[in-house]
Structure 1
Amino acid sequence: MEDEDFINGEVTDPTVFDNPKDSDIILTFSGHQIYAHRVILRMWSPFFKRVLDSQFCVANNATFNIDDECDDEHDPEPVYAMLKHIYGIPFVPRSSTDPRGVSGLKFCIKLYMMTDKYDIPSVRRIAVSVIQDHLFTSQNELFGLTTLEPIPRYIALICGPRAPQLADPELRDVLFSWLTENFCVLTEHQEYRDKIEDGSLLDSELTAKLLFSFSAQISANKKTKTTRTTYLPPSSPTSNS
């Protein structure tokens, strides 16, 4: 009879992560190294599957440096979170001493960018879900979110003219949606006005989409006002006594 625990994945062994036993490849980054397994990397990431199944020498090397020569070295924390997840150690959003969770938001954005680069959809979806829940369920704390200078910087990091080209635009869409929904409130704060004025908050495509959205709203509001126009009945003539 089949063991239901194995079917449900409840016997996942977290000790396999970063364990040299049975490891057949070492991932290196930012002065760190992780003992990994090619089969697990292939199972969870189309990127690693393409690389490790290729005819290039990296496919057979004992080590694989995942730092990008064109970028700064990777922040180790999101790399560890990304790799732990594919080894069956669930990603738990970081608790922050900041009650508004700004450092947690920054971490999830970094994690998303990492998983977009290495194409690990399962972790990417979790990161987007956490960011979306944080932004759209914190409307009662919107004032607190808008007055924190890092928030517009994070938006510019994903939506601005210098943002990297993401393979999956989902996070970009989420941040733009939140920005559009709360734009009038956000522009009351200097940090947002500064980035809008210097052109660093949104790239040209999203700026055009924002203007089109406002134009559509204005047009809809005009039509609504027209249909709601109330005509008063003519006053009855005054009788002279």
Structure 2
Amino acid sequence: MNIHDKGESTLPPHFAVILDQPAIGPEWKSWLVHELALRGVLLGLDGTIEDHGVLIGFYQFLEQAEAEQALQTMNVKVEALDCPWMGPIRGAIGWVRAGLQEDLLGSFLPVLVRLSRGPFVRTADSAFYAPVRKIAFSVENVVKKYGFGDGEDLLDIPGDYLEHACDEVQAVLEHAGLEAQVSLIETAHNPLRIRGPALQDGKEASSDVLRELTVTLWAYDWRLLQDASFW
């Protein structure tokens, strides 16, 4: 079955833009197929998407020029191109579901958010979500084991991203007159933490003080997976 059997448009109903990353190398499509397969999602040579052997959809690759033209035509801004840890557009992958939308939301789409990092676009009306964007977080996240969405909101990329995030939070605390040391810890949860209490005028700062402070970080925005109307 061909993806175009689901509609007349030359573009699939939804597509996600793939931004360059150090791990991709020269062949972004092979990289994407491999990374998805590691997580149990198989892109078949016949255009099928399978989750642990169950057919859940059909896919189509868009080359770089085709992806860029589609974005320009639909006036979709790639916000993440302003992120210092993101590279240029490599291409895109489009898809159509084979059964329930929940099948894609349960496996393929969450993985694709992490791998693509470019916008997810709905072709019919040019609606889109930016899965990586600047987000204002409460500084209170740094005192919580499950802060920053249990660490899931923070970008999982090589380089100095987490160190930069640590410095940003530290700067907000110092600007507010708080004494605290923000550090990175090895954990399966939130890695951005304060060791000990934050002090204000020599006394432990209340949770309200930390809650009202905000720090802006490049991060994952998972709302697209919760917006049923987008799909």
Given the two structures, how large is their TM-score scaled by the length of structure 1? 0.30
Given the two structures, how large is their TM-score scaled by the length of structure 2? 0.31
Structure 1 or 2, whichever has the larger Rg, is 1
Higher relative contact order (CA 8 A, sep 6+): 2
Q: Which structure is higher in helix share?
A: 1
Q: Which structure is higher in strand share?
A: 2
